[in-house]
Structure 1
Amino acid sequence: MALDRRCTLTRSLHASQKGMWFWDNLSSSPPPPPPPPNMSFRELRNARTTEFAIHEINNRTDLLPGITSSSCSCSRGRVCFYTINEYDENAGSLWNSTGDCKLHYMVQKCVNVQTIPSDHHQAAALAKLVKHFGWTWIGAVRSDTDYGNYGMAAFLKAAQEEGICVEYSESYYRTDPRSKLERVANVIRRSTARVLVAFLHSGDMLFLWQELVRLPLPPLQLIGSEGWIIQSDIKRCIGCGGAIGFSIPRAVIPGFREYLLDLSPAQALKSPLLTEFWESSFSCSLKGSSGGARKCNGSEDIRALQNPYTDTSELRESNLVYKATYAIAHAIHGVICNDTQCDKSAKFTPWQILDQLKRVNFTTRNGYQVSFDANGDPVAAYELINWQVNKDGYLNFVTVGQYDSSRPRGQELSLNGVIIWVGGQTQVPKSVCSESCPPGTRKAVQKGKPVCCYDCIPCAEGEISNKTDSLNCMPCPPEFWPNTQQDICLPKPVEFLSWDDTLSIILTVFSIAGAIVAVSVAAVFYKNRASPIVRANNSELSFLLLFSLTLCFLCSLTFIGQPSEWSCMLRHTAFGITFVLCISCVLGKTIVVLMAFRSTLPGSNTMKWFGPPQQRLSVLTFTLIQVLICTLWLAISPPLPFKNLKQYKERIILECALGSAIGFWAVLGYIGFLALLCFILAFLARKLPDNFNEAKFITFSMLIFCAVWVTFVPAYVSSPGKFTVAVEIFAILASSFGLFFSIFAPKCFIIMFRPEQNTKKHLMGKAPSKSL
């Protein structure tokens, strides 16, 4: 269309440009565009996308109603968006002279609207992709251009935040000397990283890969940027199957294909670009024979063409142009229009359009949401492309996932297809400097190497790690201990002398057996209570001693089972009181022997000072002293259940804490004092005459008693766990059996098996002795 060269152009998009949308100052009379190089059908399709979008906008009543816009080509790959057709230098406004254009003002600056996400978003997406597949050891290569350098810098920063280590980062540009290309290729070959992130232009990628495959190359998983991952020329890359990377999402623009194909030779002649397209596509000349080319005869069928212009199966960049054009229209609408109509004479500045563009939020006819953030970037949305080799050996670009930065953190990436990896494998390849440390170990960084290179150190005793690649091991709580794998804390086993323990059963049998024997002896003594041997040895103290021995046997049972408050208090006090009662009886019998001997001397009446009442009083007094000691112990600091966590690291010893150590040792000391006193007196009376003398048996019993309890102390201190209680029970039973058999066994033997010796004459030593 005829346009005044003085008009200032409003540019919607250069499809190959990246970066924030910005403003370029142009003179009122821009210079003519330079001669174009070879025709780019893809760029031409993008240019016609703007024409198609403007055509739609002009036919809408809800967007810029009453205002007609048009477009033309400014230079190769650049599309200009006009809202005027003539310019009045004097009035500084535009008017409608032909009825085609209805806007009386124009934007006097050029606007570059970016509807492709910033490469910072792509870099973050690539880092999350690498992290998703567990690759922590990668290589990186980039084009030595602004695209490659800035994009890779953003990726390396994002990768570091994701805990990814980069073994090497190399740059290359296709015009560099071959020596540099070989050096970069050798770095990649010698590396141990099996994943390569390539932020390259398609041409650089093709050159580099051709150099890499010139020599044997280990399986290398390629991760591509959108600069090459969907470029058709890169399909010549031999051995690139399995590559994955992000690209601009595919789109469908309803009616766009018909618009592109609705082109006749006459229409093509109206535009230099379309003329060039027609002549290049059909190898003919629209304006007549030129340079040996035949003249187009009108039989050319544009629908039969197969090139990027007619290929609308993947309208990726074209959809961005489509959205950019609509974005400008919505911005202008927001500046000059209200709810009902637009002010055709409104004056506005480019900065108003800029400010309005920040606030646009709409949905295009093909269902895409358009809005911009504070930096002028749209929502980052990509398709994850996988290069898969088909049956014929050709590479296909297969969409296997999406990335959407508007989703919640950690959910941006979603996979919905089967990925074929390098070498045709379906299993995700590995690329790590060190294998993951399993639970039960921790990572220790290798000196002088990146954090992704580490050794796996087993957790120390009592510590666990319950996840893979733990940096530190955690100590278990005091009452817990690690399992064998050291990946979980389990409750420590609680150890005490339980009733079902074999040792407990044995000790219980001996305890009950001792009590039964003591009761049986008491029954025998009671039956023979009138016999000389029972009467001669102070039957009252004998029965009291048998009763106390029975209690001694039974009190050992209180030490078996899980300690509780009552059992802890009972076991120690019962033990202390019953043993004092027992020793008091023995001590009384010893004193009786001494007194009885003295009473046989002429003129002696000592027995009247230690008759039965005095004997009972002495036993009661000795016992009450122990009762008082135990009462004070229980009142001040009684023994209570206690979980011993220090003796053993891997288990808990449930025991009775002594409470007051003074109370415990006072109880034992008092028993020891009585036993020592009894031993001394019995030892002094051991050689007294008469057969009724029990002193030698009492001496022997006290010797056993003292020996048992002297050896008990070191055994008690050194015994582990539940055996500590077992040693205490053994000492009680051993000393009880020692007293019992030393004092009562000889008497029972005479009563049951030597009744002829159970006579007063024999006891007085007057019976004739039998010759042996």
Structure 2
Amino acid sequence: MSDTVKFPYFYRTVPSELHLCAGIVKLLKHFGWTWVGIVACSNENSMRAVQILKEGIEQSGGCIEFIETFHQSSSLRFGNLDDIFNVIFTSSTKVIILYCNRDYTELVRHTPIWEAPGKVWIITAEWIFTSPSYEIDRKNTLAFTVGKKNIPSFHKFVREVNPALFPSDSSIEAWWKDLCNNQCPKSIQRSCSSDETSDYILHCDIMYSGDSYNVYNAVYSLAHALHDMITSNSGNITLWSGESESILDFLPWKLNHYLKNLHFKNVLGEEIFFDENGDLAIGYNIINSDFLPNGTQSNEIAGNYNPYAPPGNGFTINEKAVVWEDIFSQAPPQSGCSQSCLPGFRKLTREGKSICCYDCIPCSEGEVSNQTDMDTCITCPEDQWPNQKRDACIPKVITFLSYEEPLGITLTFIIIFFFLSTAVILGIFISYQDTPIVKANNRDLSYILLISLMLCFLCSLIFIGRPEKMTCILRQIVFGIIFSISLSSVLAKTITVVMAFHAIKPGNKLRKWMGSTFSNSIVLSCSLLQALLCLIWLCTAAPFPYLNMRSETGIILIECNEGSVVAFYFVLGYLGFLSGISFIIAFLARNLPDSFNEAKYITFSMLVFCSVWVSFIPTYLSTKGKYMVAVEIFAILASSAGLLGCIFLPKCYIILLQPERNSRKYLTKT
């Protein structure tokens, strides 16, 4: 009937079903009721409204557990009450919408379905409590009714009007009974103003004042439209041929023009007008009915819905005015197919079920949900991580191998210990530099090797602390060059041992190469080649500090990115090449006839060195963060300590504890 094309002369003086359904949806949304059932009559209006309701509920994120329809068998009787009764009693929803007209709603109240415990009823028509003592005490019932207003002088009219003046009609008598809730005298002679029935006024216009107000507005709307039409300038009225301007000759289609443009204020100061669909711009009250201890009925206006109000003001509800059953602990019940998913969880719809039926699963690693009933979790930024409850993102812990932590402190003490130990050995060699055992194998190379080992130990300190741009560059470059000096010195010592043995043979031309110049040139050339590799590394892709946010859960690792991985392994490979050559030469010379054959000790030192670095590579690749740095420091310390211990400790043992063996005679003894 709201289709103005099909029904251009129809004007509705009660709110349309569209607005009623929209108000119910807003009520459900306010209380968070997402799982509801609908019971409706089988007439056309109710079926159309149910479809509108279904669409509105689903669009707002709710779901409908069941839709049951009363099938009328005869008069006001239903033929499928038992089926509906079973559905309601076995349903999991706590909210049921009853969409029926007043007569059917009144009838439903007297059926067993109304006794279902723990159910909230939302009805679309008010009922009359004719005898409260016989009614079920239903606290949790919310009724949408047309807005009630106290029409001025209405009670005075009811009190003074003479019903006998009206035509004798059963509908009029029923109207009087309905109006006064059956409190008027049976005879209905003049009015209900006698002393014994004076209390009826309290009942009059209580339940059905919305209807009275609708009639009031409808009559005055028509009156204003007629008034506007009659008093308007004749120039604004289009007359057909042969028409006169007599009031009696006004045609209905002319009145339609004035009704369509009607706009006035009634005596209550309310704006009265028809919208574009011909509906009167009025709203609904939301009534909560309750029985007081004295047996009387209390009808509290708990809220209202006005679709024509400004945005944000159309729907209001006063939860304190709603009386709930004791089973709900005097609080609004929750109605959902599943419990709400708390923050930290997300919804996972059950297969083959409604979207309102879901399981709550924790957010995945790196994700949070900070609201209830979230469909998806939010991924934290790269520099943040979920807290323990996964309901908020917190900054990740920044970590690196620092001097303050136990691992850093331990490594620092070990580095200092080896550095001081090397310095002591260097001091011993300088103090006993003229003894045969120090002079036996090029003491200058021994000094270079000891100093380079001291620097190897010290360069480990660069690996501890917060990585910066300069420290990342110095770490690998200084390590690579100093270690190449150490290994070059070992290689030079090894070659010197071999050449010294062969040079003692008569006529051997190697004698002229036995000077320190040759050994120093070996150290210098091998070290310069490593320096060249490092320079190429710096020019192509130098190491740089890097924030590793994905390596460890909830941690930001500040580490040095090697830049060019190829260059990094070229530097390590070159060190491996030097150590391998030294090991092979020393191994071949291990059995040279000499009381103190240094090649044996170099062989052992290179064996330790190669073992450390061969095991270092897989260990280095399998560790992360600061432990990767600790592995590299350990490899540097272990390999350096291997060189120091295998090459120099036996000499220190003889120098300090067996000085009698520190003689030329003993060293040349075969």
TM norm. shorter chain > 0.5: yes
SS in 1 for 2:517: helix
Q: 2:265 aligns to what?
A: 363
Q: Given the alignment, which residue of 292, 295, 314 partners 1:390?
A: 292
* AA aligned opposite 2:90: R
**Residues of 2 paired with 1:330 and 1:684: CA distance?**
124
Q: 1:331 aligns to what?
A: 225
**Residues of 2 paired with 1:403 and 1:661: CA distance?**
70
**Residues of 2 paired with 1:307 and 1:145: CA distance?**
35
Alignment of 1:537-556 (within 5 A): 537-556=441-460
- Cα deviations across residues 597-617 of structure 1 (Å, max 9, x unaligned)? 334333446343241233322
Q: 1:139 aligns to what?
A: 37
Q: CA RMSD in A?
A: 3.8
Residue 579 and residue 431 in structure 1: after superposition, are their counterparts in 2 closer, same or farther (change >3 A)?
same
* AA aligned opposite 1:746: P
Alignment of 1:359-438 (within 5 A): 359-407=261-309, 412-416=314-318, 417-423=320-326, 425-438=329-342
- Cα deviations across residues 108-131 of structure 1 (Å, max 9, x unaligned)? x9x875332112211221122123
Contact residue 482 and residue 490 of structure 1 kept, 8 A: yes
Q: 1:55 aligns to what?
A: none
Residue 449 and residue 533 in structure 1: after superposition, are their counterparts in 2 closer, same or farther (change >3 A)?
closer
**Residues of 1 paired with 2:195 and 2:636: CA distance?**
113
Matched, 1:182 2:82: yes
**Residues of 2 paired with 1:122 and 1:308: CA distance?**
30
Unaligned runs of 5+ in 2: 178-183, 238-244
> Shift in Å at residue 134 of structure 1?
2.2
Contact residue 385 and residue 393 of structure 2 kept, 8 A: yes
Alignment of 1:260-275 (within 5 A): 260-263=158-161, 271-272=166-167
Residue 698 and residue 304 in structure 1: after superposition, are their counterparts in 2 closer, same or farther (change >3 A)?
same
Matched, 1:520 2:419: no
**Residues of 1 paired with 2:576 and 2:188: CA distance?**
130
Residue 550 and residue 489 in structure 1: after superposition, are their counterparts in 2 closer, same or farther (change >3 A)?
same
- Cα deviations across residues 178-199 of structure 1 (Å, max 9, x unaligned)? 6433333333233333322111
* AA aligned opposite 2:53: F
Matched, 1:220 2:125: no
Contact residue 261 and residue 310 of structure 1 kept, 8 A: no
Matched, 1:670 2:574: yes
Residue 498 and residue 336 in structure 1: after superposition, are their counterparts in 2 closer, same or farther (change >3 A)?
farther
Residue 557 and residue 478 in structure 1: after superposition, are their counterparts in 2 closer, same or farther (change >3 A)?
same
* AA aligned opposite 2:412: T
Residue 361 and residue 302 in structure 1: after superposition, are their counterparts in 2 closer, same or farther (change >3 A)?
farther
TM-score where L is the length of structure 2: 0.85
Alignment of 1:51-66 (within 5 A): none
Contact residue 22 and residue 113 of structure 1 kept, 8 A: no
Q: 2:94 aligns to what?
A: 194
* AA aligned opposite 2:49: G
Matched, 1:733 2:637: yes
Q: 2:472 aligns to what?
A: 568
**Residues of 2 paired with 1:449 and 1:691: CA distance?**
90
Q: 1:244 aligns to what?
A: 142
Q: 1:322 aligns to what?
A: 216
> Shift in Å at residue 220 of structure 1?
2.2
Residue 744 and residue 380 in structure 1: after superposition, are their counterparts in 2 closer, same or farther (change >3 A)?
farther
- Cα deviations across residues 10-67 of structure 1 (Å, max 9, x unaligned)? xxxxxxxxx6599999xxxxxxxxxxxxxxxxxxxxxxxxxxxxxxxxxxxxxxxxxx
**Residues of 1 paired with 2:253 and 2:379: CA distance?**
62
**Residues of 2 paired with 1:740 and 1:24: CA distance?**
106
Q: 2:600 aligns to what?
A: 696
> Shift in Å at residue 659 of structure 1?
2.6
- Cα deviations across residues 270-321 of structure 1 (Å, max 9, x unaligned)? 55479987999566697xxxxxxxxx8x997599545479835674322223
Q: 1:597 aligns to what?
A: 501
SS in 1 for 2:354: coil
Higher helix share: 2
Q: 2:242 aligns to what?
A: none
**Residues of 2 paired with 1:299 and 1:717: CA distance?**
100
Residue 656 and residue 426 in structure 1: after superposition, are their counterparts in 2 closer, same or farther (change >3 A)?
same
Q: 2:358 aligns to what?
A: 454
Unaligned runs of 5+ in 1: 1-18, 26-108, 287-295, 767-772
**Residues of 2 paired with 1:24 and 1:725: CA distance?**
83
Alignment of 1:643-654 (within 5 A): 643-644=547-548, 648=552, 651-654=555-558
Matched, 1:609 2:524: no
Matched, 1:155 2:53: yes
Q: 1:168 aligns to what?
A: 67
Q: Paired residues, what number?
A: 648
* AA aligned opposite 2:204: D
Matched, 1:587 2:491: yes
SS in 1 for 2:321: coil
**Residues of 2 paired with 1:513 and 1:499: CA distance?**
16
- Cα deviations across residues 511-563 of structure 1 (Å, max 9, x unaligned)? 12111221222223333334443333422222211110011111122222333
TM-score where L is the length of structure 1: 0.75
**Residues of 2 paired with 1:461 and 1:525: CA distance?**
60
Contact residue 533 and residue 759 of structure 1 kept, 8 A: yes
Residue 391 and residue 614 in structure 1: after superposition, are their counterparts in 2 closer, same or farther (change >3 A)?
same
- Cα deviations across residues 56-81 of structure 1 (Å, max 9, x unaligned)? xxxxxxxxxxxxxxxxxxxxxxxxxx
Answer with 1 or 2: which has the greater Rg.
1
Residue 387 and residue 546 in structure 1: after superposition, are their counterparts in 2 closer, same or farther (change >3 A)?
same
Residue 282 and residue 514 in structure 1: after superposition, are their counterparts in 2 closer, same or farther (change >3 A)?
closer
**Residues of 2 paired with 1:366 and 1:177: CA distance?**
41
**Residues of 2 paired with 1:712 and 1:389: CA distance?**
85
Q: 1:117 aligns to what?
A: 15
SS in 1 for 2:110: helix
**Residues of 2 paired with 1:299 and 1:576: CA distance?**
113
> Shift in Å at residue 408 of structure 1?
5.7
SS in 2 for 1:168: strand
Residue 601 and residue 329 in structure 1: after superposition, are their counterparts in 2 closer, same or farther (change >3 A)?
same
Residue 309 and residue 112 in structure 1: after superposition, are their counterparts in 2 closer, same or farther (change >3 A)?
farther
